[in-house]
Structure 1
């Protein structure tokens, strides 16, 4: 068995949150696997934002400071994994596909509550949990956030209103910067052009909609596309699968 903290490899927490609830910036001495059994979570950590669709999870490494905002009613299921067990897990936040076996294991361990290091069956479950997290596919649902407050206001606006089709110059004025200034700031601070950042924000929003069961057409409209065909092309380019294939895979 592995050495552990306080005699436990894994601790668990199940909680429900109302829409609009925000867990203020905090960190933990253990790593976290945060699973959205239902609802959508927005996580901010390490200067970036992740949108976590229902039935997905985010891994947060030991000690990372993060904020979690609930979009809609959220059923959160969290596994805290101690430092020795978490050593082989990713060193930065990442969104994970939760396959059926991992999902069932998450709920099974929640039913137990804690996995003690002095019980062989618990040690085996903790080892299987780590193996399944390592094997899980990653989804590129990360948006780097600009540091400049004017650019950050634009980024926050598009995450909250992905369907906004207003002229870019008009939106820029509301942030207190010119369009030219924002077009310079975004590549320098995020690695994305202003237009590319907006498109990825829209498509990540669409992923959350599709994962929640929204139709392809409604997801396209909800994230600012007037044409389902144009939405399909952009989605396929960004995620490597068509919206229809994504729905099927989900």
Structure 2
């Protein structure tokens, strides 16, 4: 189901920082749009997939997507979720990156965001409510980045490979095998993959599997089922890869999102 962005997405901001909340059902899709200000997209229950022109960002409840101003993006809701959107005037975020990024949401930052949803829209900037929102901004600048975004290659051959793998993340073809299909050497594909995405083919495949695993976890699949579906030799090998890339175990993803 296609949805429009919230009204606050396009209204002139009444205050330097504004937080709004939306309850969204699984399968909802917020159409492509951009803002004149920065945005923090955080599903404190459930999981969302944010897509920009250059990458995909999947976020369970322990993570959020930071989007600077004027970045086209769309949102797909992978499970029923409670979505919080924080809007920040540009002068409020000089220490945040000028590119889209997934950040880790600590328990403290989570509680600050949830409590801030009760702040009225006409709060005074110098009031305790204003200080509360500035504290969220300050903690965002300290939040560690989570490198699970999936950058998109740009050349025709690599785009074909990426699209095929997005449809079947468990595919075990080597670069040599892909090279035979698209008419390029494994060395050329490897070099161009790093050049176009900024990460190696191996790292890209791991991030793809992390995103696929998060989606499968929220569909009720067990860690063991996911490990074998994604062609890992054992659940422990899969858990090790997942934790290396996200900082937490697959089971913690589900446990924390239900809190």
Partner of 2:55: 48
- Shift in alpha-carbon separation, 1:98–1:222, aligned structure 2, 3 A: farther
Larger mean Cα displacement after TM superposition, 36-45 or 26-35: 36-45
TM-score by length of 2: 0.75
- Shift in alpha-carbon separation, 1:190–1:129, aligned structure 2, 3 A: same
Partner of 1:177: 182
Q: Does 2:10 align with 1:12?
A: no
Partner of 1:79: 86
Equivalents in 2 of 1:60, 1:134: separation in Å? 13
Unaligned 5+ residue runs, structure 1? none
Equivalents in 2 of 1:249, 1:156: separation in Å? 31
Q: Is the 8 A contact 2:62 2:256 kept in 1?
A: no
**TM-aligned CA deviation for residue 169 of structure 1:** 7.6
Q: Is the 8 A contact 1:27 1:66 kept in 2?
A: yes
Q: Does 2:105 align with 1:93?
A: no
Q: Deviations over 1:109-158 (max 9, x none)?
A: 21224363445122211211112212222211112111124422432343
TM-score by length of 1: 0.77
Equivalents in 1 of 2:174, 2:134: separation in Å? 52
Equivalents in 2 of 1:124, 1:233: separation in Å? 40
Q: Deviations over 1:14-60 (max 9, x none)?
A: 22333333323211012111111222222223512211123321111
- Shift in alpha-carbon separation, 1:182–1:17, aligned structure 2, 3 A: farther
Q: Does 2:40 align with 1:33?
A: yes
Equivalents in 1 of 2:56, 2:243: separation in Å? 21
Unaligned 5+ residue runs, structure 2? 1-11
| CA RMSD in angstroms, aligned pairs only | 3.4
**TM-aligned CA deviation for residue 205 of structure 1:** 3.1
